[in-house]
Amino acid sequence: MGTNYLVTEAVQKVAESYKCKPIEGMLSHQLKQFKIDGEKTIIQNPSEQQRKEHEKCNFETHEVYAIDVIISTGEGIGREKDTKVSIYKKTEENYQLKLKASRSFFAEVKSKHGSMPFNLRQFEEETKARMGVVECVSHKMIDPFQVFPINAKGINLVTGIPFEEDVYVSEHSVTDEKIKELLATPINPSKASKGKKGPKKSATASDPAPAAVPTKA
């Protein structure tokens, strides 16, 4: 079926064709029921250390992946900064929380969101939620989705806005023949139709009549 690093190399080649770089170390995860970060992952633009540590894997039939491809016209390295985080996800860690606000917050996370990501703005009392999440994060019961700025001037709005494809015409194009062949492959290839049996032949006047079988008196 192929390996995760075949996807890594394909993303790298397409980005290079357009003089861009994939963001270093970003992961696409295997999806499972109620779990968005399965064991198998696809890494993009890994550093030498990440390439050594990241586990190679083979794809299997019926597996599902969330493909996150993030491209930059810059150096392709996101740096964690002191930016306010709003998206979080519950982990499998256990700890006896000390603060009442933390216990109340965590109970609401479990009942309303389970193991799926959530935004603190979804809570009726966002201020209390921001108080409660601190202890949960410090004891690894809640994971934050960190913001990795790649633009020194700040954050640009890149999602949630209308995309007008006709406005963007690139001076670059894919030149790698294997990638071009891959891009030309239909997303949903038509299945070869199985040969259908012809209609049953009906009796006609020219068909011989069945022979009579003699019986004893």
pLDDT at 209 over 70: no
Nearest to 183 by CA among 4, 11, 1: 11
The Cβ-side half-sphere exposure at 133, using a 13 Å CA radius, reads: 23
Per-chain mean pLDDT for the chain: 86
Lowest mean pLDDT among 18-32, 146-160, 187-201: 187-201
Residues 18-32 have pLDDT tens digits of 999 999 999 999 999
Lowest mean pLDDT among 31-40, 159-168, 206-215: 206-215
Please report which confidence band the pLDDT of residue 151 belongs to, taking 50, 70 and 90 as the band edges: low
Lowest mean pLDDT among 128-132, 197-201, 212-216: 212-216
For the chain, the C-alpha Rg in angstroms (whole number) is 29
CB-based contact 27:67 (threshold 8 Å): no
Give the mean model confidence (pLDDT) for residues 56-65: 95
Q: Read off the tokens for 202.
A: 């009906």
Residue 206 burial by CB count (10 A; 0-12/13-18/19+): exposed, middle or buried? Answer: exposed
Q: What angle do CA 182, 44, 62 make, to 5 degrees?
A: 60
What is the predicted pLDDT for the residue at 76?
85
Please report which confidence band the pLDDT of residue 14 belongs to, taking 50, 70 and 90 as the band edges: very high
What is the predicted pLDDT for the residue at 96?
96
Give all domains of the chain, ordered by start, each with its CATH number.
1-77 (no CATH), 79-159 (1.10.10.10)
Give the mean model confidence (pLDDT) for residues 155-163: 70
What is the predicted pLDDT for the residue at 195?
56
What is the rounded CA–CA span in Å between residue 157 and residue 93?
34
Q: Read off the tokens for 208.
A: 């011989």
What is the predicted pLDDT for the residue at 83?
79
- Bridge partners of 188, per DSSP, are none
Q: Which residue has the tokens 């949960």?
A: 136
Cα–chain center distance at 122: 23
CB-based contact 78:148 (threshold 8 Å): yes
What is the predicted pLDDT for the residue at 217?
41
For 177, list phi and psi in degrees, rounded to 5: -65, -40
Please report which confidence band the pLDDT of residue 73 belongs to, taking 50, 70 and 90 as the band edges: confident
Give the mean model confidence (pLDDT) for residues 36-40: 93
Residues 110-149 have pLDDT tens digits of 999 999 999 999 999 999 999 999 999 999 999 999 887 7
Please state, in angstroms and as integers, the Cα–Cα distance from residue 148 to each residue in 27, 70, 77, 128, 132, following that order: 14, 12, 9, 26, 24
pLDDT at 162 over 50: yes
Give the strand pairing for 27-31 and 87-90: unpaired
Q: Which residues, at least 6 apart from 170, have a Cβ–Cβ distance to it below 8 Å?
A: 18
